[in-house]
Structure 1
Amino acid sequence: MSIGNSPDGNSPEDERPFEDDREAEQFSIGRALRQARIDAGLTVDDVSNATRVRIAIVHAIEQDDFAPCGGDVYARGHIRTLARAVRLDPAPLLARYDADHGGRPAPTPAAPLFEAERIRPERRGPNWTAAMVAAIVAVIGFVGFTVVKGSSGDDTKTQVAEGSTPTTSTSASPKSETSKPADPKPDPSDSAIAAAPQDKVTVQVSAVDGRSWISAKDHNGRMLFDGLLKKGDSKTFQDSSKINLILGDAGAIQLYVNGKKIEDDFQPGAVERLTYTKGDPQVG
């Protein structure tokens, strides 16, 4: 007679490792997301429409295939986005992903390349502004010199050479006019979108830190753009009153709204829904 054996002849000690292995095998990111989606009564199409993550990527992640995501940063962002869409805590899933893929990725080695991408578009605007200011100063200086030469005699020229203040109004006006074009020079950082119309809203979206899917609509809900913005690409949208944006990876995007740089600290992989008007830039 065998004591402590199960009816099939196996002891509890023999069965316990099999149950532990099965339990560990059942816990996976894809299965957890799929089960939570089913429990929430959502289809893959519903999740894709809500998160803007492509259907093929949603299917792949639910099968624990993260290759279509394009890298660890994008995979972590998609996991976080899908988990929130099906009302699931993303922290355990991200921890499991980091454990299976060598830890959380460190983005710092790529910083020099990203910095170069940021500097290139910011320099383009101020160069044109400086050229325009120089041309205006040259034209006003030439006109002022002509007016002073035609209206002032030798006495006026002598006073100006000796440093005394001319008494005629014609010689004073060119000085005040020539000093005005110097005002735009101290603040060139807000001129990334030159001469942005005041009666419209203008939004420039640049993928400076990597690629990102973006969607843009006007105030009537008409689609202006819906697609992938590769690293280094830029799109500009304009409407009479409002622009609605959805950023698939907000951490890779730099925004200029009505000629002003948006300084929001968007996280890599985060999905952001934004609305901008022709007034001061405001996050919707």
Structure 2
Amino acid sequence: MSIGNSPEDERPFADVSSEEAPSIGHVLRQARIAAGMTVDDVSTATRIRIAIVHAIEADDFTPCGGDVYARGHLRTLARAVHTDPAPLIARFDAAHGGRPAPTPAAPLFEAERIRPERRGPNWTAAMVAAIVAVIGFVGFTAFKGDDADKTDQIAGGATPTPSASTTAPTPKSEKLATDLQPTPSDDAIAAAPLDKVTVRVSATHGRSWISAKDHNGRLLFDDLLKQGQSKTFQDNSKINLVLGDAGAIELWVNGKKLDNEFKAGAVERLTYTKGDPQAG
């Protein structure tokens, strides 16, 4: 018999004193029972392991792996059983010393967007323009020479004979111009400067809680990323990531997509620098 469907799970707790508010785990358990859900149901809906759900309902947050993970699990579980997560997070913070204030990421990215980039001469465009000019000159010269030959034949009374080939051979310079056409890179993403580390996190296969910090340890993001949503983080030297459900995530680091085979439900701690892509 599944541990989530045990009849003992559904027995109500003993009466709680009116002078003492029910615990976080008690509130979540009662909300789950009121919603008609078993622990198995909640685990399936949130992708949080059954053992962790049981521990949280018993007010044991040790299996969560830290306060940051515990907040993410509380928020996800509360939404799954249709209760407001804000009071539970506030009570957890009060009991565990509060949470670090996140550093607003928007001003940093805004400053990076408006900073003018230093661009060198576009040698590719200059080379293509020169090749086009050469092709035009060669074509014009060949056309004028052909007209002059035909004029001489008519003036001498000779009937012009059709040429074995009615099309002029393609000059080598034209083939060179075709070979120089730039092709788009399959691994490129928008704006990945070489002097910074840029990490894009995309919840492609499901939702996952995400935490991101810069090289100083300042919190850039700490929340649930729903399926289909993406976040991009940028720093001068290093980005630290924690993925609550790494199997749901795809990563792009410094313009290249990573082929990491993360398992569903696995928690991954990753660090990336300007020299990557590879996990730190």
Structure with bigger helix share is: 1
- The TM-score normalised by the length of structure 2 is 0.48
